[in-house]
Amino acid sequence: MHWTFGFLVFILFSWGINQQNPELTESKQRGELIYEDFCITCHRANGKGFGKMYPPLAGSDFLLNKREESIRAVKYGLSGEITVNDKTYNKKMEPLGLSDKEVADVMNFILNSWGNTSEKMVTVEEVEKKVKN
């Protein structure tokens, strides 16, 4: 009896995990292609960046704690010092020329890759709102 109950709980839990938002899944797939075209050279395929030159995106406290600044950096580039995981970086990131939709997609990919998880999907509307302020 206990085995049957435990198995049922396992199946239901597993099913729930696999029921991810299809819109987010599609956004992440598009975002991965954008990442491969625009970001992989500096931040690498594993999201770990390059030493002291380019910050990691994998496990990045900056991305998770400074969502608005991250969105603006992807949209408009970034210059000046930033601190990521207690390390300071001061390498200019040029604007990538991405549309608001592309920014949302690549952010969704980054925020849900290499161990990063975000419960809140980045939307085009959020990007539009963040970049106008």
- The rounded distance, in Å, linking the Cα atoms of 89 and 126 is 26
Phi-psi region of 97 (alpha: psi -120 to 50; beta: other; left: phi over 0): left
- Specify the pLDDT at position 115: 96
Q: How confident is the model at residue 104 (pLDDT cuts 50, 70, 90)?
A: very high
| pLDDT surpassing 60 at residue 98 | yes
- Specify the pLDDT at position 4: 58
Q: CB within 8 A of 69, min separation 6: which ones? A: 62
- Specify the pLDDT at position 18: 47
Structural domains of the chain, with CATH = 22-132 (1.10.760.10)
pTM above 0.75, yes or no: yes
Q: What is the mean pLDDT of the chain?
A: 90
> What confidence tens digit (pLDDT) does each residue in 29-77 have?
999 999 999 999 999 999 999 999 999 999 999 999 999 999 999 999 9
